[in-house]
Amino acid sequence: MPATSVIAICSNPDCTRHAAAPRPADLPAACPTCGAPMVDRCWKCEAPVTDPFSSYCRACGVPLKRVLPRAGRPEPVIAICGNPDCDWAVAVERAAARPSRCARCGASLLSHCWKCGARVVDLRQHYCQACGVPLKRQPRPL
């Protein structure tokens, strides 16, 4: 009897990488080509992926490859140094793991716009992507 195998496809719409393995635990969690999370089941109805060349769920028809915020896999928290003369920045998995001070100059880090509260989304970001204020001209909290 042929062993049944499970299939995962890369969730990146621009990537055609897929993988098959005897057990779900043997599937790669991240795409070996582009690093995006691999999906082995429909995010909506949880039907397993059976066709590595289809990007739509065979059961409910939703597109499997979308860039989705994944449960249990929060987007990284980005914190940039608040010192305008320093370009140190860090990305961490969880807000709790975020250091509070710059490792280079000791200034306090910021991960949200001081004006509108929008998240910092880029390690080299200098201006708020939502309201446009310079992020690094935050009034010193202390």
Q: CB 117 → Zn ion: shortest distance, Å? A: 7
Contact by Cβ (8 Å): 38, 68: no
Residues near Zn ion (CB under 5 A), total: 30
Q: By C-beta, is 2 or 82 nearer to Zn ion?
A: 82
34 vs 15: CA distance, rounded Å: 7
Q: Scanning the structure block, which residue is given the tokens 């969730």? A: 11
> What is the per-residue binding string for Zn ion in 71-90, x denoting contact by CB under 5 A?
----------x-x--x-x--
- Provide CB contacts within 8 A for 98, sequence distance 6+: 77, 79, 90, 92, 109, 111
> What is the per-residue binding string for Zn ion in 25-64, x denoting contact by CB under 5 A?
------x-xx-x-----x-xx-x---------x-xx----
31 vs 12: CA distance, rounded Å: 9
Q: By C-beta, is 2 or 85 nearer to Zn ion?
A: 85
Contact by Cβ (8 Å): 9, 26: no
Contact by Cβ (8 Å): 39, 49: yes
Q: Which residues bind Zn ion (CB under 5 A)?
A: 10, 12, 15, 17, 31, 33-34, 36, 42, 44-45, 47, 57, 59-60, 81, 83, 86, 88, 102, 104-105, 107, 113, 115-116, 118, 128, 130-131
